[in-house]
Structure 1
């Protein structure tokens, strides 16, 4: 087997701090998209080696920024710049997913014929009330001047900082095994609840692709465009972290109900990358959501290459 690499998140969870001697609950039945036993064992071994080398790590709160965008939205490049600036400030504690959805993401008129949308992204936009672009959600929590889940770009920095100040309730380890010859990615998500919680919690897993060169409408800088590109229809715009696929359905798969501090869950997934996607630019993003409020309580990201 050639060129198989393991990618393991380094922001959380040493074995002795979080996972030593814990009782592990796997809430998933056997599924067709579950990796082969040899692959799950390989990921388990890679995870254990990572924990052994890294040692104890204090869990930190990470934040998910969902940037709702579209390729015919001329001020959306400015929102992407804001997201990039926030990532420079916060590093890997901020995970950004660009969700192409709504009117400005339509792909039925040249030159905008590339489909960046997903059924799940469209359903999220409808359910959360994203009626225009650019807009976003920060951990799907209420915030900003309107105290709304959907927030304008100018509200993102303060909401991100506020969410990062929260005490983490879950620690996550995300491990992937990518096989270039088959373009198959196997995924393991291990979560440890750090406090007693009520309610039900679901796990979401998505695949994103970064640095996609394609058409994008761009306004002037004063109107929210990106000054690095000309005004108008740009055929060489570099689209960041576009959500390509959702592996867990629109609202996720059950992870834990009324978890107690110290309880651990493990989940495995398998997916084959679309031939049109550049694997070197793909990432896996996993996040835990409160089923009732749909608020994100923890997120993790790992790049495939």
Structure 2
């Protein structure tokens, strides 16, 4: 990635009621008669001492309830305090994006807002953006070794020489520490969409691809931490433009396909 100015925009909130699934095998869900042109990546910068972040988590829950699998959320815990969910990589991402307050949402790498109530409008706007990439992830898992293998398959409608693919490990349903509105910490707050680790370097790996070319570009192995619950692990992969940070394509795959429910 290269550093860039993030745009702070104000968009009126949109209210939606229900959604219809085109087909259970389709990758894109129809929302109120509109078929999104691409899936959207929402990064929620947060920490376990942030009371206002509870509202952000609730907003993400509501948005996923509306947009289903067309919206992929990742909560990145960052802090100079050593909270359990903070990672070195998360702190690097926060520094890179110049995050000053929690919560802050980064939508598709190029839109930033500290107001969770605006995130849905930005996501809706991004649904209209066409993508030139089709990204698929194929994940296998060896239980005894706790080792996963990810193969990334990309098809492009254009030539690209300034792109990177980044693969992340995400965990849901983590019961842990959280500061509550009454000023007290609890130990059983459920954290979802939590960034755990980057599989292929902090900022991913560069690749080039020709117009209408389809290829497997990255095959990676990764051993999961013994403390992570494998039933709740997902792999998020996304392609982004290294000149602008714009996320061009994103997808999410459960480590164990039988656990394919969406966290709402």
1:88 aligns with 2:57: no
Alignment-derived partner of residue 251 in structure 2: 300
Alignment-derived partner of residue 132 in structure 1: 101
Work out which of the residue numbers 255, 279, 286 in structure 1 matches 2:230.
Answer: 279
Q: RCO higher in 1 or 2 (8 Å CA, sep ≥ 6)?
A: 1
Aligned partners of 2:113 and 2:119 also within 8 Å? no
Alignment-derived partner of residue 207 in structure 2: 255
TM-score (norm 1): 0.69
Deviations 1:229-280 (A, max 9, x none): xx63121100111100101222210122xx4431223121110110000000
Gaps of 5+ in 1: 1-8, 14-57, 108-112, 143-148, 221-230
Report the number of matched residues. 226
Alignment of 1:169-180 (within 5 A): 169-180=132-143
Shift of residue 168, structure 1, vs aligned partner: 2.1
Aligned partners of 2:101 and 2:114 also within 8 Å? no
Secondary structure of 1:275's counterpart equals coil
How far apart, CA to CA, are the structure 2 residues paired with 1:74 and 1:87?
Answer: 21
How far apart, CA to CA, are the structure 2 residues paired with 1:10 and 1:188?
Answer: 20
C-alpha distance 297-234 of structure 1, shift in aligned 2 (>3 A) = same
Shift of residue 127, structure 1, vs aligned partner: 1.4
TM-score (norm 2): 0.80
Larger radius of gyration: 1
1:79 aligns with 2:30: no
Deviations 1:111-169 (A, max 9, x none): xx52x122222111111111110111000123xxxxxx354312210111111111121
Gaps of 5+ in 2: 1-23, 29-34, 257-264
Q: Which structure shows the higher strand fraction?
A: 2
Q: Which structure shows the higher helix fraction?
A: 1
Question: Pairwise CA RMSD of aligned residues?
Answer: 2.1
